């Protein structure tokens, strides 16, 4: 809380404790770690480099605690609990019917589904906060299984009424157009999208959820890359159309699933794929 509010007084008020309690507890943490976690500045505090590192571990500890409590409480009602992590693009285009089939066939198993970026999902898997994850990054580590899950095309889309490049589009034309930016964190594909634009390019529109892009495209707000499977309905209905690249080529999208070796529930879930 102190890292967010950057003020001891406001932190104490938010947590309904005395300011001295906050001060003492931060002091105890700093004594225990042997490092300064906050730099005192006029009007407040800022995390030090060591504090930033400590904060990441603290958040993971809280995630583990919450996961443990949920599993303990779930055990009384369900015979098992499966924690699934996925990037939004794979969830939207691939996972929903798979999860639905699993729920219908295995009502005795409770599920928790979390959506995040690929790197965060792999961290969740290693921290035992997720049992199986679906991402665009392969995961090669002893004790885990990683296998190819699906493949897709990365296509540039626009509304037919707003597409000024019916014959195709060049990289220069794309850069000068209104591009709707979504930070997919795809790995190779994400690097490809970012490489099309100059460093620190000022996008007129940015959003952090690929599932929300199609609505803006249909309303004629500009152009954007999406996995083809995410836009199949809009392409079939004619609400969106593919804009052909002329002097650049989009890479294929390959997704992977990863889970700990010996995870019977993860293996069972994948039989529905």
pLDDT digits (tens, 9 = 90+) for 159-184: 999 999 999 999 999 999 999 998 65
Same domain, 89 and 144: yes
Confidence of residue 17 (pLDDT cuts 50, 70, 90): confident
State the chain's maximal CA–CA distance in angstroms: 68
For residues 140 and 259, state if they share a domain.
yes
Residues 52 and 19 in one domain: yes
For β-strands 252-260 and 132-135, DSSP reports them as antiparallel
Q: Mean pLDDT, to the nearest integer, of 69-76?
A: 69
Residue 182 and residue 111 in one domain: no
**Strand intervals (E) in the chain:** 38-41, 44-47, 80-86, 109-115, 132-135, 144-158, 180-182, 205-207, 224-227, 241-242, 252-260
Q: What is the pLDDT of residue 186?
A: 54
Number of domains the chain contains: 3
Say which DSSP state 18 is in. Answer: -
d(CA 224, CA 126): 33
- Of residues 12 and 190, which shows the higher confidence score? 12
**Domain harbouring 228, CATH code:** 3.40.190.10
Task: List the structure tokens of 163.
Answer: 């597409």
Specify whether 232 is located in the same domain as 175. Answer: yes
Strands 180-182 and 205-207: parallel
Do β-strands 80-86 and 180-182 pair in parallel, antiparallel, or remain unpaired? unpaired
For residues 245 and 169, state if they share a domain.
Answer: yes
- What is the model's pLDDT at position 11? 92
In a domain, 175, yes or no: yes
What pLDDT is recorded for position 119?
A: 85
Dihedral pair phi/psi, residue 17, rounded to 5°: -135, 170
Instruction: Decide if 116 is inside a domain.
Output: yes
Q: Judge if 228 and 262 occupy the same domain.
A: no
- Rg of the chain in Å (alpha carbons): 23
Q: Choose among 169, 272, 273: nearest CA to 225.
A: 169
| 216 and 160 within one domain | yes
As a whole number, mean pLDDT of residues 41-46 equals 86
Residue with tokens 């892009």: 213
- Report how far apart the first and last C-alpha atoms of the chain are (Å, whole number): 41
- The SS3 call for residue 48 is coil
Residue 215: exposed, middle, or buried by beta-carbon count in 10 A (0-12, 13-18, 19+)? exposed
Verify that 245 and 158 share a domain, yes or no: yes
pLDDT mean over 128-146: 93
Summarize pLDDT for 196-252 with one digit per residue, the tens. 999 889 999 998 888 889 999 999 999 999 999 999 999 999 999 999 999 999 988
* Residue ranges making up the domain that contains 45: 2-62
| pTM as predicted | 0.69
Query: Is the pLDDT confidence value at 262 over 60?
Result: yes
161 shares its domain with 183: yes
SS3 state of residue 198: coil
Residues 50 and 78 in one domain: no
Looking up tokens 């390959």, which residue turns up? Answer: 254
Query: Are residues 245 and 260 both part of a single domain?
Result: no
Q: Which of 14-28, 74-88, 120-134, 179-193 has the lowest mean pLDDT?
A: 179-193
**In-domain check, residue 55:** yes
Q: Is the pLDDT of residue 137 over 70?
A: yes
Please report whether residue 67 resides in a domain. Answer: no
14 located within any domain:
yes
The predicted model gives 130-140 an average pLDDT of 93
Please give the Cα distance from 47 to 179 (Å, whole number).
35
73-103 residue pLDDT tens? 766 678 888 999 999 889 988 898 999 999 9
| Domain membership flag for residue 243 | yes
């Amino acid at each position: 809380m102190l890292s967010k509010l950057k003020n001891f007084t406001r932190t104490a008020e938010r947590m309904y404790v005395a300011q001295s309690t906050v001060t003492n507890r931060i002091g105890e943490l700093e004594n225990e770690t042997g490092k300064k976690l906050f730099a005192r500045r006029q009007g407040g505090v800022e995390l030090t480099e060591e504090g930033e590192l400590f904060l990441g571990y603290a958040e993971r500890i809280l995630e583990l605690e919450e996961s443990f409590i949920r599993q303990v409480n779930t055990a009384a009602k369900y015979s098992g609990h499966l924690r699934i992590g996925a990037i939004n693009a794979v969830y939207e285009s691939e996972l929903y019917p798979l999860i639905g089939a699993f729920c219908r066939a295995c009502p005795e198993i409770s599920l928790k589904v979390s959506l995040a970026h690929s790197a965060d999902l792999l961290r969740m898997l290693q921290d035992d906060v997720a049992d199986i994850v679906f991402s665009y990054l392969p995961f090669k580590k002893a004790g885990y299984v990683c296998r190819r899950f699906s493949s897709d095309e990365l296509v540039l889309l626009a509304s037919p009424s707003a597409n000024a490049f019916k014959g195709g589009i060049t990289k220069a034309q794309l850069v000068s157009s209104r591009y709707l930016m979504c930070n997919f964190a795809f790995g190779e594909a994400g690097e490809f999208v970012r490489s099309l634009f100059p460093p620190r390019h000022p996008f007129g529109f940015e959003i952090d959820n690929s599932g929300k892009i199609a609505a803006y495209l249909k309303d004629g707000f500009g152009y954007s890359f999406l996995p083809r499977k995410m836009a199949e309905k809009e392409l079939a209905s004619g609400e969106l159309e593919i804009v052909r690249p002329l002097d650049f080529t989009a890479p294929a999208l390959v997704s992977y699933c990863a889970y700990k070796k010996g995870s019977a529930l993860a293996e069972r879930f994948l039989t529905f794929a």
